[in-house]
């Protein structure tokens, strides 16, 4: 996945988001017809049972395509999506693993879908180029206070966008 370059961050090449590729980490939520028994090809089943659900819109300042830490939440699934059709990137590693260059994958998330992560999925992002961007986020009201485990990498990763 990554290539070590002298004096530079490790490169993590983004891949296109598909249901199959993202399955180890969660599911892709696509638009579907209202009232259909399963409104998208994969229904985003949520686990919000361990607290009070919180749905909010977060405004993220430009942060480029580099990161040096990753986090997970053990008590909740988390759903993220960009507002306004913006494309973005997220690095993930499977639940129950030690995040490393060998376990990381990075996905290019189109602006017309959301992702629901499994409980315990390591994630870094959203990352994007350009001006500030708004994202909707569904988690628990205290997720970032009591259920926020971080891992800091020895050197940063730079996301190489899809071609």
Residue 109: per-residue pLDDT? 98
Look up tokens 């002298």; give the residue.
6
Residue 31: per-residue pLDDT? 86
pLDDT tens-digit series, residues 33-73: 777 666 445 557 888 898 999 999 999 999 899 999 999 99
Sites in the chain below the pLDDT cut of 70 = 1-7, 36-43
Residue extents of the structural domains in the chain: 10-31+41-160
Q: In this structure, are residues 159 and 91 in contact, taking their beta carbons and an 8 Å threshold? A: yes
Name the pTM for this structure: 0.89
- CATH entry 3.10.620.30 includes domain 10-31+41-160: no
Q: Measuring CA to CA, how many Å separate 102 from each of 3, 43, 92?
A: 11, 29, 11
Residue 7: per-residue pLDDT? 54
Pairing of strands 66-72, 133-140: unpaired
Residue 6: per-residue pLDDT? 47
Residue 46: per-residue pLDDT? 85
């Amino acid at each position: 996945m990554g290539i070590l370059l002298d004096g530079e961050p490790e490169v993590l090449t983004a891949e296109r988001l598909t249901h199959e590729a993202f399955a180890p980490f969660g599911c892709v939520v696509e638009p579907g017809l209202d009232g259909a028994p399963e409104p998208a090809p994969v229904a985003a089943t949520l686990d919000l049972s361990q607290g009070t659900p919180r749905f909010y819109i977060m405004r993220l300042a430009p942060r480029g395509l580099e990161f040096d830490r990753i986090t997970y939440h053990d008590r909740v699934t988390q759903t993220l999506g960009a507002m306004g059709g913006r494309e973005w990137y997220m690095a993930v590693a499977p639940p129950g693993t030690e995040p490393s260059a060998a376990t990381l994958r990075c996905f290019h998330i189109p602006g017309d879908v959301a992702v629901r992560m499994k409980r315990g999925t390591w994630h870094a992002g959203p990352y994007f180029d350009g001006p500030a961007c708004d994202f909707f986020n569904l988690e628990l009201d205290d997720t970032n206070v009591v259920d926020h485990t971080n891992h800091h990498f020895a050197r940063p990763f730079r996301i190489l966008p899809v071609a």
